[in-house]
Amino acid sequence: MLTTRWTPFLTYFVLFSFNPLHLGGFASHSSFFKRLSPHSSRSSLLTFLPALRLLTFVFILTLLQPAPILITPGPPQTVQTLHPIVGVHTRLTDEVEEWKIQRTLQLVREMGAGWIVEFFPWAYYHAEDGGIAWEHPDLVVNHAQAQGLKIIARLGLTPGWARPKDTPLNYLDETAYDDFAVFAAAFAERYQGKVDYLIIGNEPNLNYEWGYRLTTPQDYVSLLEMVYPAVKAANPEMMVLGGALAPTLEPAGSPWGLNDLEYLAGMYELGAAAYFDGLAAHSYGLTFPPDFEPAPDVLNFRRIELLRQVMESYGDSHKSIYITETGWNDHPRWTQAVRPGQRIQYTLDALDFAEANWPYVEVVGIWAFRLPAPTKSHMDYYTLVTPEFVAKPIYAELKAYTGN
């Protein structure tokens, strides 16, 4: 690297340093090249010979630097697991180095998780002129595919050109729904056969997820109406997942959001059923064990059953649920956390419970497999592997659970 950067300068100095007459020429490229021309005197050319030899030496030195690390996806792998329901939400969005992407996905496969949920931010890739930078999503998708992982892609975040000035990154209003649909369709088309599931948006029942714009189910249904046909036209095999609602008890009129059960019912009332093929769901256990009874005024793992009741009441029970975020937290100070041992046991029990009781659930995706960097907050205590790739005991327990 160093050699490459300094080669032109070294060459320049080397050439001149061997002929005192030319030292002053550093400021004059024209005189330098003039001296190298066929009209130059023989003696002048001779004075350059040592310098040319050195130039050759420097050139060879540049060739001696190590080649960039070559990372290939490698031969296709297969996930070995006793529990195909196990999945994880990876967080490779902000992971720059390719080897870290590959290593993360290897660890997912070795743990026996067959699914990943990954976030692909629209804002990161899509330029105003229509160009889409596919390099990073290509890395993630190709490495995941090489590890034999099924991918649920989550799309979100609005590019600056598609939202009003001075609005936050997650601001989205109806003027940009068609642009979002263009990106979602392009994504579906590009990854045909590699990505089979697409989540439109994230936790749309929270105003935060719309850039603090007060939101109603109508906003989200309008978005689905625009995106669903575009994706299906581009890739008819793509399963479009709606929902991914935040578990919350916020009442109607709250400045923060709306109760997920009410929001889902509102979506159905507005005809959303025609615009998604499966329901993505978030289901955190907080301090409750996984078999704790569900209730409308309690947030726990089995809230999934209440979402299912809403689906059934609107005649949508033929669709599956995909749990794309779940888990327990073992931060020593957070009031919604449990002890590390409880976290492990609850997680394993939750997987057993889902397998035994929820035939309509395809995947239980644990949030989060690994973060690219520590957040130094309770979020670090949701992960299975540290940013430095140290597997936590919960990782080993899950690996044993899947028979690896």
Partner 1 sequence: MFRSFILKLFGLICLGLLFASCQSEPESWQRIEATGILRVGLDPTYPPFEAANNEGVLGLDVDLAKAITADLGLESEFVLFGYDGLYDALGTEQVDVLISGMVVVPERTRDFAFSEPYFNAGQILVTGGDTAGIQQMSDLNGRILAVELGAQGHVEATTWSRRLANLIVIPYNTPDEALTAVLNHEADAALVDSISGRLFLMNEPGLVRGETAVSVEPFAIVTRKEDELLLEKINESLDNLQASGQLEQIISKWLGP
Residues near partner 1 (CB under 8 A) are 330, 332-335, 339-344, 374, 376-378, 390, 392-394, 397
Minimum CB–partner distance for residue 328 and partner 1 (Å): 11
Nearest of 77, 195, 212 to residue 147 by alpha carbon = 77
Minimum CB–partner distance for residue 331 and partner 1 (Å): 9
Cα-to-chain-centroid distance, residue 163: 22
User: In degrees rounded to 5, what are phi and psi of residue 326?
Assistant: -160, 170
Minimum CB–partner distance for residue 385 and partner 1 (Å): 11
Helix residue ranges per DSSP H, 205-339: 217-234, 260-269, 303-313
How many whole angstroms separate alpha carbon 282 and alpha carbon 290?
Answer: 14
How many whole angstroms separate alpha carbon 238 and alpha carbon 230?
Answer: 11
- Which of helix, strand or coil describes residue 364? strand
Look up residue 299 and give its amino acid: L
Minimum CB–partner distance for residue 335 and partner 1 (Å): 6
Minimum CB–partner distance for residue 202 and partner 1 (Å): 21
Those residues with Cβ within 8 angstroms of residue 348's Cβ, 6 or more apart along the chain or in another chain: 397, 398, 401
Instruction: State which residue, 64 or 390, has the beta carbon closest to partner 1.
Output: 390
Instruction: State which residue, 8 or 168, has the beta carbon closest to partner 1.
Output: 168
Which two structure tokens, joined as six digits, stand for 335?
A: 């009031």
- Which of helix, strand or coil describes residue 33? helix
Instruction: State which residue, 74 or 168, has the beta carbon closest to partner 1.
Output: 168
Helix residue ranges per DSSP H, 235-316: 260-269, 303-313
Minimum CB–partner distance for residue 244 and partner 1 (Å): 23
Instruction: State which residue, 216 or 342, has the beta carbon closest to partner 1.
Output: 342
Instruction: State which residue, 158 or 402, has the beta carbon closest to partner 1.
Output: 402
